[in-house]
Structure 1
Amino acid sequence: MPIDIAISPGKVSIPKPSGERLFFTALAATMFMAVVIGFGRTYYLRAFIPPPEFIKPATPLVHLHGLLFSAWIVLFMVQTSLVAAGRRDLHMKLGLTGLPIVLSMILVGTWAALRQVDRLAIPLDPLSWLAVPMLAVVGFGLLFLSALALLRKPAAHKRLMVLGMAAMIGAAFGRIPGMPFLLGAFLLPNIYTVALIAWDVAQTRRPYLSSVLGGLLLLFVTVGPLFIWKSPAWLATARWLHGLL
């Protein structure tokens, strides 16, 4: 493994980021931009720009969810930038703050999704729509915990981190002005699987197993709701979950 910072007498040289580091930083940057643009009108700037009519006033729970999600996307962007800059030491230290944020996101995200059933103002049955955030939370949690388990395998770790973030990014893509909602919320997140596999093949002539398996899970949690949300089995599950409140 090449040394990130080479020190010679009287001279310190910091090599330029590799192509792969720049690639993963670019992926993180697109996610960061999607969150800022997608949630700009509906959350971050709603005090200055009137949100769409179906967006109800934010509750303390919504603000908590927004705070955790915002903290995570900023941390994700910073972490990829640190790796690109060759500062793996800071990356590892700062990564310790990620676990409590993610665990809190899973708990608060689930709670917010269940509470949303009573707040939705869309034509679709709220219990059907519950499949979307619930599968997103499950996919995010499984991919992140898998990435954490593979911390000592950087190639798999960073691919699963990207796919885990993609599992949660559909809500941002679906809110981008001018973006067809179904395209943004359900299909567009899977472009990160395509990008990872294309990069793998270009670099090693074959995709990493983490890109393929993680991508399949991402496909299930993003597109899967379309196939299950009106089924009797899901509606019964959704009623039970909502009843826990």
Structure 2
Amino acid sequence: MATTANGTGATGQDAERRFYGRMALAIIIAIFIGFAPSFYLFQMVSYPRPNPPLTALTVAHGIAATAWLAIFYTQIRLVAAKRRDIHRQLGVWGMVLGAAILPIIYFTSLHAIPRGLHPPIIDAESWSAVPLLAIPAMAYLLWMGWRNRMDPQAHKRFMLVYTLCMVEPGLGRWPLFPPNMAGHVISNVLAFAFIIPLVMWDRKTIGSMHWATKAAAVALAFSCFARYIFWGLGIWPDIVRVLPY
């Protein structure tokens, strides 16, 4: 049975599950490599980057993000195993966790400013735009995923791109990229490029980009590139100084 445009049929469903499963594994690998010296393999491996001590907040951040990745991959496997009942139950808790990650990102980002946890390309206050501007994008993607939970094709795309928002901080810590603005831009563009397989999947299966992919791509672009606008205007430090903490 051939793959159909709406993903129905045994062959189409199997291919779709393989696609999302491979995307999940690629995301997990990218994040694990990036955060190995600072979290997953702390004091076991090192890259030529600063490796500050862990705090309770950074540990909570790492645990929450890791739990999300585990749930995301588990949800894909549950659908493959035709356990949609458990998938729906776990999905509720996944949404709760996804929402909880947002304030954790907020407080961790502000907590990092006085600790000086930023690359030498820019000051600590300006660098906080990187994680803080991801929050509205992730909030939008999570909300759209929940709102479209009865539309599997839209739901899974929003959930995938929500998870893609976590790739950039992981990929940016790879030792391949020098700690300068050029290295940051290159790693950021490559992180955004993780959405290309989804665009190609849409074109292969339905002939054009799914509406949810288009909406999610805009949110991901905001998460990845809005920082450069604020940096260019030089106004982000003034904004971050008035944020409640």
Q: Which amino acid aligns with 1:141?
A: A
Residues 155-194 of structure 1, C-alpha deviations (whole Å, 9 max, x = no match): 1111111111111221111122324542564212222322
CA contact (8 A) 2:95 2:142 kept: no
CA contact (8 A) 2:48 2:175 kept: no
Residues 194-226 of structure 1, C-alpha deviations (whole Å, 9 max, x = no match): 221211111111111111121012112102212
Which secondary structure state, in structure 2, belongs to the residue aligned with residue 96 of structure 1?
Answer: helix
Within the candidate set 9, 17, 30, 1:21 is matched to 17
Q: Following superposition of structure 1 onto structure 2, how do residues 1-245 of structure 1 map, counting pairs within 5 Å?
A: 18-50=14-46, 52-121=48-117, 122-123=119-120, 124-179=122-177, 181-183=183-185, 185-241=187-243, 244-245=244-245
Distance in 2, matches of 1:210 and 1:134, equals 23
Q: Which moved more, 1:228-237 or 1:158-167?
A: 228-237
Q: Which amino acid aligns with 1:169?
A: V
1:17 offset after TM fit, Å? 5.2
CA contact (8 A) 2:78 2:87 kept: yes
1:52 offset after TM fit, Å? 4.4
CA contact (8 A) 2:47 2:175 kept: no
1:16 offset after TM fit, Å? 9.5
1:2 offset after TM fit, Å? 6.5
Q: Which amino acid aligns with 1:217?
A: A
CA contact (8 A) 1:140 1:168 kept: no
Residues 108-154 of structure 1, C-alpha deviations (whole Å, 9 max, x = no match): 11000011111125321111111100011221121111111100011
Distance in 2, matches of 1:199 and 1:100, equals 29
Which secondary structure state, in structure 2, belongs to the residue aligned with residue 102 of structure 1?
Answer: helix
Distance in 2, matches of 1:160 and 1:235, equals 31
Distance in 2, matches of 1:136 and 1:176, equals 19
Q: 1:47–1:146: structure 2 CA closer, same or farther, 3 Å change rule?
A: same
Residues 75-113 of structure 1, C-alpha deviations (whole Å, 9 max, x = no match): 111111222332222211211211221122111110000
Q: How many residues align?
A: 233
Distance in 1, matches of 2:186 and 2:81, equals 31
TM-score of the two chains, using structure 2 as the length reference: 0.87
CA contact (8 A) 1:28 1:76 kept: yes
Give structure 2 stretches of 5+ with no counterpart: 1-6
Distance in 2, matches of 1:107 and 1:62, equals 12
Q: Which amino acid aligns with 2:94?
A: G
1:231 offset after TM fit, Å? 2.2
The alignment's C-alpha RMSD in Å is 2.2
Q: Which amino acid aligns with 1:77?
A: Y
Q: 1:202–1:50: structure 2 CA closer, same or farther, 3 Å change rule?
A: closer
Superposed structure 1 runs of 4+ greater than 3 Å apart: 1-4, 50-53
Instruction: From the CA coordinates, give the structure whose radius of gyration is larger.
Output: 1
Q: Which moved more, 1:120-129 or 1:162-171?
A: 120-129
